[in-house]
Structure 1
Amino acid sequence: MNNRLPISLCMIVRDEALFLEQCLASVSSVVSEMIIVDTGSTDRSVDIARAYGATVVHMEWQSDFAAARNESLRHAAQPWVLIMDADEQWVEGQQSRLFSLLEASDGVYGFEVEIKSLLGRSGEDSVTDSACRIFRNDARIRFKGRIHEEAATSILALGASTLRASGLQLLNYGYLDHIVKRKNKSERNFQLIKEALMQEPDNRILLYALGTEYFQLGDYDAAVRILEPLLDELPTEAGYASDVFLKTIFALREKGELHQAVEKVEEGVSRYPGFADLQELKAVLLMDLGRDDEALGVLTNISRSREYTSVSGAGTYRSSYLTGVVYERKGEGKHACEAYEKAVEANPDYVPAWQRWIPLAVCSGELAQVERWIGKRGLTEKAQQVVLQQMLDMQQSVWVLKQKCWLQEAFSKMPWAEAILLAQLGERRVAARLLEPWHTHQDMAAEIGIYLQALCSDAAGRGQLRSGDPDRSVAMEDARWMGKQAEAFIRLGAWAGFGAWLPEVKEPSAVLVQLSPSARIGLLLAPLSVRRQLYSWLQEQKEVDREMRERTAASEQAYLNRTSEHEPDTARLEVDSSDRAVPTVQLFMRLALRASFKEKEAGLDLPSYEQETARILKYKPASSIEAAQYGWNALELFMKQNPQRTEDRFQAAAQLMLL
């Protein structure tokens, strides 16, 4: 039985062999014919299209997407048309809904389809937009626009109610990092947009497209120059106006022009009250300004409408995650854990929430909450890997053994995890034997090599014979691997090797700053000799002391008064550089290590915990903005708790490592 619908699939392609087959396969049982306009492919695109029974039309590329689209429409024979790109897929299970829409389509000429574009390395994030992709095969409906072509305008010209939402969805793979890099669309887009602007210099859609290209390339100065003037020109109901606001405000923030960004975001939220992405950006700007309570108010009252192009999680799990970050900055670990739990309830695969929840739960005594969650819901494969790695970082081998039944997929995907667990339990020789076969694995050789080197160094540090091939060691000069090397020692509990390795590192404090929060917590379980060694090194960071003392109240004014794009780069760097966080991290790590010493371990040669606290608090930035950003406010709250018991002191030390 043929269940295909009276639809012509119309596409334009050029060298799309990478995706074309999966695109056509996804929709071949839905449409009655396929029309593909090829504009000059040199790969297998034409052969793939013909293998699926498509009619292939050859057309010379005219630097005009609308012209190519309209050529495909000219060959369509079915009463309805479906428009797709080669890097898109029809979502399975929608055929009956589409049939119902077409059956009850009196007076309707077109349907909007949701396009979910996957982002990042493997689609961990996404943006959902809507576009008219299904419409009647009517000569009055044609595409317009040399680039970012659209047919909705010609459909709406036929009547106000001629275009409807469909609830159907397409998946787009073309914005994954490796695909964007491979296709190099920006160069092509710039050329097309600039050619079109020569003919229509005041075309707002083209200006928006040009600003968007600059934005995506990270050229925020150029993006603001083009997009900001459009804010006052575009009517609120323009479909892309909300995105102009979002991109302009984000670019202003990246430039450090916070005052202007806040002014614009207030206007944008007023005009688009259901735009969750814009509300989240407002909360982030308030956090930038140290106004955490106001940011929390925004995040807990977000309203969300599906009418806007939105990043995945906006108004749901991403907002819960940001709420957790604010609570952490306020020193409220219990509330932060609750917010992260809410985030993973909405999206069990949301890695950032797991990365903050697990270490915070360990060091704030809320681990039972995580265990209850796992017992009720289990863990996805992605979550298992994050949880397992962090628990190993924090030397939680007993917990891992207890919860191992919930971590089976992670152990199978991370075969070296079993070896790390055994190493933590003291079985280092067995761990090395388990790791050996993976040292020649194409994808794992470098990482396994680091673990084996750490085990060899540890054996040598404890006076045992080295095992393994000395040629496998990773070059110490390779800064890219220094942090990984340190984390391998910590994860394995190879403290003898770690103590022997650190003196070979020119700037150990700089390496320590690169560690993940969970690995920093793992440092607190190092033997006393290693912790004292680290503490002494961090005490000797005179450059850190000097830099911290130079921070004055003037830095806050410099931060707030930057409203001109012509301000000297030196002033911009003075307040923008992420390096400003590095001295703070070193000071907090120093205090955390001091908190980890029992008083009898500290001896007479070290300042007391209270003395160290008072000394470090002297370096609190005069700027309230920096104090909030870098965790000083939370630090003061911890200090007021003044933990006395050893277990309380360790919890406080671990929380300091997270700041």
Structure 2
Amino acid sequence: MKRMEAIKQLSLCVITKNNELFLPDCLNEMKETADEILVADLGSGDRTRELASRAGATVYQPQWENDFSKIKNFCMERAAGKWVLFLQADEMISPKQRAELRLLLRNPNAEGYLIYVDYRQDERGISSPAQFLRLIRNRKEYRFQYRSFEYIPDEILYSLQDSRLRIAHRGERTAGWQLKERIRLLKEDQKERPQDGYVRYLEGIELLNLEKYEESAVQFELARQAVTGGCLYVPHLYKCYGYSLLALERYEEAEQVLTEGIQAFTFYNDLLALRAELYRRLGRSREAVEDLETCLALRKRPNAYVPGPEIPPSVLQEMWEEMGPAP
């Protein structure tokens, strides 16, 4: 019995750099949830390491090699818990959801969980669902790849589920250095993996966030051509591609892409919402309402195998009120 109690269930890992403003609150809030806390510090010049030690964390100072995957893998190799949770220093999980998080660890059918991150609008417009993979079973074969927006390929990590949990940012000032560094390192991934579908998809997102729709559409099409199998990010790829084509008013292509995505990923209801908007613009109101009705019905029974919806209910409600029930 004592031996079982000694087994750690959850390791919290935080990658830091000059985060003395946020880190103490993050670690103190998570003390009762995590069985151990690891901090990988990338060269702080402030009191980050000192404050982490005071909070009971084991502090490491790995060499920064311009590669977030190496840092995350470094953490996983040193974590003793059966599960690993990654948070940034300025992130928080509500007390109620921290209790729910512990319950997720008992699910024998899950190897990882997606946790939605509430990015501030001025920091991040559209994000890949791969960035929401924050809670992972600690197996030696699960190792991240790519320098910038780290990702464990689907053929390695399977049985992902939606945790229904949310990560929020703390206060108005946030530790945005990681995002800036990731965007910089995306160019390195582009050089090293120029034909990689995931890298093309990430490049498309960055262009989409800059409202460079023509260029983003090119990258999304190249990513779609390179995709083999149903990867975690592929439903979102179809959505972003369809959004770019809608912005360009290339409606025939948008319908083709969105319909292909809907056929492949039936439960990803954001695709239906976008196609409803397309049909509304084209004056095909009956088809628009049918898609919207299906979308709203699917929202009531979410599916764990596709990313959660990003289009807010308020937008769907406005569309519904404008179009009304199908004639």
TM-score (norm 1): 0.42
Aligned amino acid, residue 268 of structure 2: F
In structure 1, which of residues 249, 273, 277 is the aligned counterpart of residue 242 of structure 2?
249
Aligned amino acid, residue 251 of structure 2: L
Partner of 2:52: 49
Describe how 1:190-269 pairs up with structure 2 within 5 A. 190-235=183-228, 237-269=230-262
The runs of 5 or more residues in structure 1 that have no matched partner are 328-334, 336-659
SS in 2 for 1:273: coil
Which of the two has greater helix per residue?
1
Partner of 2:10: 7
Shift of 1:166: 7.0
User: Cα deviations across residues 270-298 of structure 1 (Å, max 9, x unaligned)?
Assistant: 22222211111111112222333332232
Shift of 1:9: 1.4
Bigger-Rg structure (1/2) = 1
Shift of 1:83: 2.3
Does the CA contact (< 8 Å) of 1:227 and 1:248 recur in 2?
A: yes
In structure 2, which of residues 59, 65, 72 is the aligned counterpart of residue 69 of structure 1?
72
Describe how 1:158-169 pairs up with structure 2 within 5 A. 163=159, 165=161, 167=163, 169=165
Q: In 2, Cα distance between the equivalents of 1:26 and 1:147? A: 28
Partner of 2:146: 145
Which of the two has greater strand per residue?
2
1:56 to 1:271, Cα distance in 2 relative to 1, 3 A: same
User: Cα deviations across residues 72-117 of structure 1 (Å, max 9, x unaligned)?
Assistant: 2333334443222224323323566555554564xx6833243242
1:312 to 1:253, Cα distance in 2 relative to 1, 3 A: closer
Partner of 2:278: 285
Q: In 2, Cα distance between the equivalents of 1:222 and 1:228? A: 10
User: Cα deviations across residues 484-531 of structure 1 (Å, max 9, x unaligned)?
Assistant: xxxxxxxxxxxxxxxxxxxxxxxxxxxxxxxxxxxxxxxxxxxxxxxx
Partner of 2:303: 306
Partner of 1:582: none
Q: In 1, Cα distance between the equivalents of 2:81 and 2:11? A: 5
Does the CA contact (< 8 Å) of 2:37 and 2:57 recur in 1?
A: yes
Partner of 2:113: 112
Partner of 2:137: 135
Q: In 2, Cα distance between the equivalents of 1:18 and 1:222? A: 38
User: Cα deviations across residues 357-380 of structure 1 (Å, max 9, x unaligned)?
Assistant: xxxxxxxxxxxxxxxxxxxxxxxx
Describe how 1:87-486 pairs up with structure 2 within 5 A. 87-94=90-97, 99=102, 102=105, 105=108, 110-120=111-121, 131=133, 133-136=135-138, 138-151=139-152, 156=157, 163=159, 165=161, 167=163, 169-173=165-169, 179=174, 183=176, 187-235=180-228, 237-302=230-295, 303-304=297-298, 305-307=302-304, 308-312=306-310, 316-327=313-324
1:20 to 1:135, Cα distance in 2 relative to 1, 3 A: same
Aligned amino acid, residue 319 of structure 2: L
Q: In 2, Cα distance between the equivalents of 1:92 and 1:295? A: 40
Describe how 1:527-566 pairs up with structure 2 within 5 A. none
Give the aligned CA root-mean-square deviation in angstroms. 3.6
Shift of 1:220: 1.4
SS in 2 for 1:262: helix
In structure 1, which of residues 56, 59, 63 is the aligned counterpart of residue 62 of structure 2?
59
User: Cα deviations across residues 584-638 of structure 1 (Å, max 9, x unaligned)?
Assistant: xxxxxxxxxxxxxxxxxxxxxxxxxxxxxxxxxxxxxxxxxxxxxxxxxxxxxxx
1:173 to 1:126, Cα distance in 2 relative to 1, 3 A: farther
Shift of 1:259: 2.4
Describe how 1:626-641 pairs up with structure 2 within 5 A. none
Q: In 2, Cα distance between the equivalents of 1:3 and 1:99? A: 16
Q: In 1, Cα distance between the equivalents of 2:187 and 2:89? A: 25
Shift of 1:250: 0.7
Shift of 1:145: 2.1
1:256 to 1:167, Cα distance in 2 relative to 1, 3 A: closer
Does the CA contact (< 8 Å) of 2:10 and 2:34 recur in 1?
A: yes
1:111 to 1:56, Cα distance in 2 relative to 1, 3 A: same
Moved over 6 A (4+): 125-129
Does the CA contact (< 8 Å) of 2:239 and 2:271 recur in 1?
A: yes
Q: In 1, Cα distance between the equivalents of 2:123 and 2:140? A: 40
1:288 to 1:94, Cα distance in 2 relative to 1, 3 A: closer
SS in 1 for 2:202: helix
The runs of 5 or more residues in structure 2 that have no matched partner are none
Does the CA contact (< 8 Å) of 2:145 and 2:152 recur in 1?
A: yes
1:290 to 1:300, Cα distance in 2 relative to 1, 3 A: same
Does the CA contact (< 8 Å) of 1:7 and 1:79 recur in 2?
A: yes
1:248 to 1:298, Cα distance in 2 relative to 1, 3 A: same
Q: In 1, Cα distance between the equivalents of 2:193 and 2:122? A: 37
Q: In 2, Cα distance between the equivalents of 1:92 and 1:223? A: 39
Q: In 1, Cα distance between the equivalents of 2:289 and 2:54? A: 56
Does the CA contact (< 8 Å) of 1:11 and 1:69 recur in 2?
A: no
Aligned amino acid, residue 272 of structure 1: F
Does the CA contact (< 8 Å) of 2:154 and 2:231 recur in 1?
A: no
Does the CA contact (< 8 Å) of 2:42 and 2:63 recur in 1?
A: yes
Does the CA contact (< 8 Å) of 1:39 and 1:59 recur in 2?
A: yes
Q: In 2, Cα distance between the equivalents of 1:312 and 1:119? A: 14
Aligned amino acid, residue 228 of structure 1: E
Q: In 1, Cα distance between the equivalents of 2:256 and 2:167? A: 35
SS in 2 for 1:167: strand
1:197 to 1:313, Cα distance in 2 relative to 1, 3 A: closer
TM-score (norm 2): 0.80
Q: In 1, Cα distance between the equivalents of 2:269 and 2:154? A: 27
Of structures 1 and 2, the one scoring higher in RCO (CA 8 A, sep 6+) is 2
1:271 to 1:104, Cα distance in 2 relative to 1, 3 A: closer
1:269 to 1:169, Cα distance in 2 relative to 1, 3 A: same
Shift of 1:247: 0.6
Q: In 2, Cα distance between the equivalents of 1:284 and 1:17? A: 45
1:21 aligns with 2:45: no
Shift of 1:244: 0.9
Q: In 2, Cα distance between the equivalents of 1:72 and 1:268? A: 36
SS in 1 for 2:294: coil
Q: In 2, Cα distance between the equivalents of 1:300 and 1:166? A: 23
Shift of 1:254: 1.3
